[in-house]
């Protein structure tokens, strides 16, 4: 990108239609706040970003700083419209020449390629570029009004449009590129004499034309432009984002048995020849190496799965899990902060938390690491080649030595030496003939009662 670009991200809106205590731009799409998607898209093409936030939006500024430490924050004191929001950013702009690119924090599907195209179309000869799209249902979007020569003359908001204008399907996607040499004067001309009583950024087009400046439109597919104003919009945008992530995974050599039922996160990393079964949900912070199989109905977040591992069906991998090469994690197994080393098997009904499971260890069905005492978490260390009998409770802190066995049903509270067997359960006793006598007694009773 040769043109010097300053990006202004508008995120100060009240978002009343979301009915939420959380600012709209912090609502996640594919586990990443909408603002994160926008910041990542603009990071590729801008030198300076300014995020415009409302007065009580410290959480938005903090989040912006975490994703883009160089981004500046501008506070819009009162939410008086998109034009007013841009005005709030003006004092932060350092560059004198180049392009100001205005994007909305509530439009997370916008592609950086489209934004680059807009910046390139925004030339000294045509100093205003609007992002347009053909809407299947133009609903509340602003309409792009063109003259007889097909040149953009103004943008009219749905509220202020006449019947003829309402019928226009070419709509305003929200983003706008304006040459910096015209930005201040055009923003200064905005007025709030409209139905909403707001300073509309969209009026920049009309003022530019009045000064004899020409305005262009860069069109993008409707799917990229969808804005989020309500929870229903949020769900629609999530679907589109998931569609993109699934398509990308498959293009990279991942088999999705039923793509529509697999949910990924924006930061999911998946290697080649991974197979993911139906109804798998992958939350944030998951890295899956090549050759891994994730069977249906598994839920993963915050974990690393190494080559050749087999996960699920019905497995739950929680944050801090490191699942080693060729490990098997079976049904109804939950791992959390657990390092499971190469070739270990945890196949059924088990909780492994705050623990290490050594290489090739076998964890029997129903094993529980009792890691929490109500106040603190404690560590369980299981050695290589250990064999944990079914239904063992390992009360942490506790260490099972390499190659040791624990008897089924044991509650292990003391360390077990390498290669030893630890059993902790009461002795079995047997009463010969007891069951037959018991049955006989009840059968006679029942007959008598007939
Ligand atoms: C806006 C456009 C409309 C376009 C649509 C595309 C205007 C006047 N209208 O309408 O033409 O079709 O987006 O999605 O620009 N914001 C502030 N401060 C404010 C008001 C808004 O920062 O005072 C921010 C919001 O946080 C949001 C963005 O600007 O990220 C857009 O505001 P919103 O109220 O959602 O505008 P729309 O009604 O959707
Ligand atoms: Ca909007």
CA 13 to ligand 1: nearest atom: 26
Q: For residue range 334-383, what is the model confidence (pLDDT) as tens digits?
A: 999 999 999 999 999 999 999 999 999 999 999 999 999 999 999 999 99
Residues 6 or more apart in contact with residue 188 via CB below 8 angstroms = none
Q: Are 133 and 222 in contact (CB under 8 A)?
A: yes
Q: Pick from 117, 105, 103: which is nearest to 8 by CA?
A: 103
Average pLDDT over residues 252-263: 98
Tokens 């309500």 map to which residue? 230
Helix/strand/coil for 9: strand
With a 6 Å cutoff on the Cβ, whether 132 touches ligand 1 is no
Phi, psi of 439 (to 5 degrees): -65, -45
Ligand 1 pocket test target in 51, 174, 234 with most atoms within 8 Å of CB: 174
Q: 143-146 and 99-104 as β-strands: parallel, antiparallel, unpaired?
A: unpaired
The alpha carbon of 281 and the centre of ligand 2 are apart by a number of angstroms equal to 29
Ligand 1 pocket test target in 53, 77, 192, 227 with most atoms within 8 Å of CB: 227
Quick one: CA torsion of 184, 125, 226, 249, rounded to 10 degrees?
-120
At 2 the pLDDT is: 66
The alpha carbon of 106 and the centre of ligand 2 are apart by a number of angstroms equal to 6
At 444 the pLDDT is: 80
With a 6 Å cutoff on the Cβ, whether 227 touches ligand 1 is yes
The alpha carbon of 82 and the centre of ligand 1 are apart by a number of angstroms equal to 6
With a 6 Å cutoff on the Cβ, whether 157 touches ligand 1 is yes
DSSP 127: -
DSSP H/E element including 133: strand 128-134
Does the N-terminal peptide bond of residue 313 adopt cis geometry, omega within 30 degrees of 0? yes
Q: For residue range 160-189, what is the model confidence (pLDDT) as tens digits?
A: 999 999 999 999 999 999 999 999 999 999
With a 6 Å cutoff on the Cβ, whether 8 touches ligand 1 is no
Rg (CA), the chain: 31
State the catalytic residue, choosing from 27, 299, 348, 442: 348
Distance between CA atoms of 380 and 129, rounded to whole angstroms? Answer: 61
pLDDT grade for 13, boundaries at 50, 70 and 90:
confident
Q: For residue range 93-143, what is the model confidence (pLDDT) as tens digits?
A: 998 899 999 999 999 999 999 999 999 999 999 999 999 999 999 999 999
On the question of pLDDT at 450 being above 60, the answer is no
Distance between CA atoms of 111 and 218, rounded to whole angstroms? Answer: 12
At 14 the pLDDT is: 81
Q: Does the annotation count 348 as an active-site position?
A: yes
Residue 194, both tokens: 């409209």
Per DSSP, helices labelled H in 189-303 are 204-210, 222-225, 231-251
Neighbours of ion ligand 2 (CB under 5 A): 106, 227, 229
At 449 the pLDDT is: 58
Q: Pick from 347, 345, 339, 398: which is nearest to 370 by CA?
A: 398
- Name the residue with higher pLDDT: 447 or 178: 178
On the question of pLDDT at 315 being above 60, the answer is yes
Distance between CA atoms of 255 and 294, rounded to whole angstroms? Answer: 10
* Number of neighbours of residue 348 by Cβ within 10 angstroms: 16
Q: 32-33 and 28-29 as β-strands: parallel, antiparallel, unpaired?
A: antiparallel
Q: For residue range 273-290, what is the model confidence (pLDDT) as tens digits?
A: 999 999 999 999 999 999
Q: Which ligand is nearest to the CA of 105?
A: 1
The alpha carbon of 12 and the centre of ligand 1 are apart by a number of angstroms equal to 9
DSSP H/E element including 104: strand 99-104
For residue 226, what are the CA distances in angstroms to 40, 118, 234, 242, 440? 17, 17, 9, 14, 75
Is the pTM above the cut of 0.75? yes
Helix, strand and coil percent figures for the chain, each rounded to 5: 25, 30, 45
Burial of 204 (0-12, 13-18, 19+ CB in 10 A): buried
With a 6 Å cutoff on the Cβ, whether 138 touches ligand 1 is no
DSSP H/E element including 288: strand 287-288
């Amino acid at each position: 990108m040769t043109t010097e670009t300053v990006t202004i991200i508008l995120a100060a809106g009240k978002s009343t239609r979301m009915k939420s205590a959380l600012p709209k731009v912090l609502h996640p799409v594919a586990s990443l706040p909408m603002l994160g998607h926008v910041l990542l898209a603009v990071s590729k093409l801008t030198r300076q970003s300014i995020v415009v936030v409302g007065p009580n939006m410290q959480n938005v500024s903090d989040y912006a700083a975490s994703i883009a430490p160089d981004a500046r924050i501008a506070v819009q004191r009162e939410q008086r419209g998109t034009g007013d929001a841009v005005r709030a950013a003006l004092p932060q702009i350092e560059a004198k020449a180049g392009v100001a690119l205005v994007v909305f924090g509530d439009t997370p599907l916008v592609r950086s390629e489209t934004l680059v195209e807009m910046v390139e179309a925004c030339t000294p000869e045509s100093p205003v570029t609007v992002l347009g799209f053909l809407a299947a249902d133009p609903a509340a979007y602003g309409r792009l009004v063109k003259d007889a020569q097909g040149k953009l003359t103004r943008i009219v908001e749905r509220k202020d449009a006449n019947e003829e204008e309402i019928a226009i399907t070419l709509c305003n996607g929200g983003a706008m590129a304006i040459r910096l040499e015209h930005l201040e004067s055009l923003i200064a001309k905005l007025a709030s004499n409209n139905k909403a009583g707001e300073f509309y950024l969209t009026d920049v087009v009309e003022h530019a034309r009045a000064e004899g400046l020409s305005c262009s439109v860069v069109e993008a597919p409707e799917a990229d432009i969808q804005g989020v104003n309500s929870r229903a919009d949020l769900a629609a945008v999530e679907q589109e984002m998931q569609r993109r992530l699934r398509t990308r995974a498959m293009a990279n050599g991942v088999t999705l048995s039923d793509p529509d039922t697999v949910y990924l996160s924006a930061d999911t990393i998946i290697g080649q020849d991974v197979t993911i079964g139906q109804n798998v949900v992958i939350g944030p912070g998951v890295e899956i190496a090549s050759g891994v199989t994730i069977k249906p109905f598994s839920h993963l977040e915050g974990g690393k799965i190494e080559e050749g591992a087999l996960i699920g069906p019905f497995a739950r991998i929680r944050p801090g899990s490191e699942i080693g090469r060729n490990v098997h994690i079976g049904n109804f197994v939950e791992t959390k902060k657990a390092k499971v080393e190469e070739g270990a098997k945890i196949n059924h009904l088990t909780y492994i938390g705050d623990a290490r499971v050594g290489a090739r260890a076998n964890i029997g069905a129903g094993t529980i690491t009792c890691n929490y005492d109500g106040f603190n978490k404690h560590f369980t260390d299981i050695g290589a080649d250990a064999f944990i009998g079914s239904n063992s409770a390992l009360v942490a802190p506790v260490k099972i030595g390499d190659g040791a066995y624990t008897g089924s049903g044991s509650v292990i509270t003391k360390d077990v030496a390498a290669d030893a067997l630890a059993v902790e359960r009461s002795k079995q006793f047997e009463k010969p003939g007891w069951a037959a006598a018991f049955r006989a007694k009840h059968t006679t009773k029942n007959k008598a009662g007939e």
